[in-house]
Structure 1
């Protein structure tokens, strides 16, 4: 790699040095100069190339590791990891935005988009009657062109009139819903379960049938209530859940 690829941080900018280094490394990975599995230069070399201290560099590397872009191996070094969606404490975002935040190019392949009726689970999630019309969108989700999961979203049809004829699935679904229907997500509830990939989904995900997967149910609401119920089957080897636990005082119990 040419040393010209390493953009040293501008100390006149308001952004912290570690943030500028983090974004510079993210850009190198996103451009493909560092491919999946590549070992990145050692810390002392990176410090010299970016012109920053080891503390600053480690701050940037830690953020990229926690974001799923890099993988540290004790005694070996730091590597560009395979496309992995890391779940944990995060903002309410679309898949497209979440992947973008990780420096990964999001993609999808539309498997089905049709008008159907709500079953009991969808009706309960969307707060409608069983049998009411819903728009069903089934997509293979990709990160850097690699399959990550299969998402099946159901939207309350009454909230999105004309959706099937509008050609709104070229990019982010949430962006399309906001632009065409004024639907802006304000909250979501997610439930994670461990499951196995079925035969039909396994072929799409390029996995053996029965491989471990995360099954994620998501109910998304706007100011008017629930509008989306999504069930995702995410590859167990490309999806992680991370959380930070902090010590705290245990509330005292009083007796009277």
Structure 2
């Protein structure tokens, strides 16, 4: 496939441009022109090749990442993912619902609640421009009074105006934004990595620096598109993933 072939998106087709862009990128991967482990062109270059906006390219890349074909590394770029096993189909629930289902008393402590400019990673996830204001909600999550994780949520400010005027320390954030704005996630993409806990998070989680943890990125989407991107640091000794596998 030549670069010219990637520009053959047809605006007259009923098929959305982001879906056409997704198919064009996927075709290169499946043809072996962008092999596993290789870096694909940057967003600006893909916009030129496909003749579409950055928002359209980001939508296509996000879908391919959720399918496990791509991985995005902050500060480095987007790479074709090697074959991997992604475990665990789970219900679309909040942390509060998840802990309650395990019989734990859910609690939170507000660490930070403010409007901040979107970083490059957050902007790419939420399909906005870098530097646009987002609502940041950072909380220490508790189970039966003991720390389980530190969660930092970023929400599109244009979807939740005035959210930070409320007390968000307790309860489900999803529950609050559904009641106030009618926003209910229809799907979410979660990426789990294993990492070690840094000094600040270790103190909050009451564990030693360098202790193992799950580093979890979650992107929540409703019919209008992505509205929340959350980074969680979950204690490895208090949080686990279980999968039921059937033939």
The answer on 1:107 being equivalent to 2:101 is: no
Shift of 1:121: 0.6
CA distance in 1, matches of 2:187, 2:107: 24
CA distance in 1, matches of 2:167, 2:106: 19
The answer on 1:152 being equivalent to 2:152 is: yes
Change (3 A) 1:179 1:169: farther
CA distance in 2, matches of 1:106, 1:212: 22
**Residue equivalent to 2:243:** 243
Superposed structure 1 runs of 4+ greater than 6 Å apart: none
CA distance in 1, matches of 2:189, 2:103: 25
CA distance in 1, matches of 2:188, 2:164: 24
- Ranges in structure 2 where 5+ consecutive residues have no aligned partner: 1-86
- Ranges in structure 1 where 5+ consecutive residues have no aligned partner: 1-86, 248-256
CA distance in 2, matches of 1:200, 1:209: 9
User: Taking structure 1 as the reference length, what is the TM-score of the superposition?
Assistant: 0.61
Q: Deviations over 1:62-89 (max 9, x none)?
A: xxxxxxxxxxxxxxxxxxxxxxxxx943
Give the secondary-structure state (helix, strand or coil) at the position aligned to 1:159. Answer: coil
Q: Deviations over 1:23-75 (max 9, x none)?
A: xxxxxxxxxxxxxxxxxxxxxxxxxxxxxxxxxxxxxxxxxxxxxxxxxxxxx
The answer on 1:215 being equivalent to 2:215 is: yes
**1:181-200 equivalent positions in 2, closer than 5 A:** 181-200=181-200
**Residue equivalent to 1:163:** 163
The alignment yields a C-alpha RMSD, in angstroms, of 1.3
Shift of 1:180: 0.4
User: Taking structure 2 as the reference length, what is the TM-score of the superposition?
Assistant: 0.63
Shift of 1:102: 1.2
CA distance in 2, matches of 1:91, 1:131: 32
Change (3 A) 1:180 1:213: same
Give the secondary-structure state (helix, strand or coil) at the position aligned to 1:89. Answer: coil
Give the secondary-structure state (helix, strand or coil) at the position aligned to 2:93. Answer: coil
CA distance in 2, matches of 1:88, 1:172: 22
**1:52-63 equivalent positions in 2, closer than 5 A:** none
Which entry has the higher C-alpha Rg, 1 or 2?
1
Q: Residues 109 and 169 of structure 2 are in contact (CA less than 8 Å); yes or no, is this contact kept in structure 1?
A: no
